[in-house]
Amino acid sequence: MLTGKTALVSGGSRGIGRAICLALAAQGADIAFVYAHNAARAEETVGLLKKHKVRAKAYACDVADFSATQRLVQSVIADFGQVDILVNNAGITRDMLCMRMSEQDFNAVIDTNLKGAFHLIRHTSMQMIKQRAGRIVNITSVAGLMGNPGQANYSAAKAGMIGLTKTIAKELASRGITCNAVAPGFIQTDMTDAMPEGILQKAIEFIPLKRIGAAEDVAHLVAFLCSEEAAYITGQVLQVDGGLRM
Ligand code: NDP
């Protein structure tokens, strides 16, 4: 159980992030989550979390902004007293073949998906070090392991998160803090709903389990990695992809 713990989850207003918030709340954790613009979806998540009788609060913050994330973490600690669990889940796509990709789209994806994770680790880790305990989970992607045509920016950011995960695992292990990465394959969310139907159907042909995953498939693993039972697992990249990449 995670009763008495506070989790900070980025991108909790919908999709995988919302499922992660709910899975952690089901274990008794209080939830502070971040979203970008979608206040209505964020409020929906807060309502769902309250059914678990935990404290829950949504914070609008751009994870790509170093100073804004610093202020965010200060607010979360003022509101909740501590951060025991950090899940870096916020992410975007700006797909295009590399030869046509704009610098702006490359930077936007790196800034949100990779630097966003760095920012939140940077601002929460000192407090976890003082507590001599903590759990960090970074949501990467099989695209960071395999590459994916049209996703040079996204694959580079997600591969970067894997290097970040292993480094943080080594830097913080002696303080009782674990850091792992979870690499989903195709998961049903707004992100995959935006993909052309034909591409998704073709992808399913290559998935041994022959279906797209659910956000909960990812969330259950994240909740386990945040538990006491996962204390001896760190620096790992765990795939939730129906066997897509073996
Ligand atoms: P969604 O597009 O459904 O949700 C994205 C979430 O991130 C939203 O809560 C959004 O907030 C938030 N967000 C986006 N940009 C920012 C920002 N700059 N600052 C703060 N919050 C931000 O994504 P998914 O649930 O599909 O994906 C979640 C994670 O899982 C991502 O990192 C993604 O790369 C990864 N992933 C997803 C896969 C999939 O198949 N769906 C596969 C592999 C990895 P708001 O609602 O306000 O826009």
Q: How far apart are the first and last CA of the chain?
A: 32
How much of the chain, in percent, has pLDDT values that exceed 70?
100
Q: Please report, for the chain, the start and end positions of each structural domain, with discontinuous segments joined by +.
A: 6-186+216-239
Going by C-alpha positions, the residue among 155, 133, 128 that lies closest to residue 142 is: 155
Residues designated catalytic = 154
* Ligand 1 neighbourhood includes 37 CB (under 6 angstroms): yes
Provide DSSP, 54-74: --EEEEE--TT-HHHHHHHHH
Residue 35 CA to residue 239 CA, distance in Å, equals: 24
pLDDT of residue 199: 85
**Residues facing 96 on adjacent strands:** 151
3-state SS assignment for residue 240: strand
pLDDT 10s digits, 35-76? 999 999 999 999 999 999 999 999 999 999 999 999 999 999
* Ligand 1 neighbourhood includes 148 CB (under 6 angstroms): no
Q: How confident is the model over 26-30, as a mean pLDDT?
A: 98
**Ligand 1 center–CA 174 separation, angstroms:** 31
Atom in ligand 1 nearest the alpha carbon of residue 42: 46
CATH architecture of 6-186+216-239: 3-Layer(aba) Sandwich (3.40)
**Ligand 1 center–CA 91 separation, angstroms:** 4
Q: Whose CA is nearest to atom 10 of ligand 1?
A: 11
Enter the tokens of residue 190: 């707004």
pLDDT of residue 200: 87
**Ligand 1 center–CA 139 separation, angstroms:** 10
For residue 203, pLDDT over 80 is answered with: yes
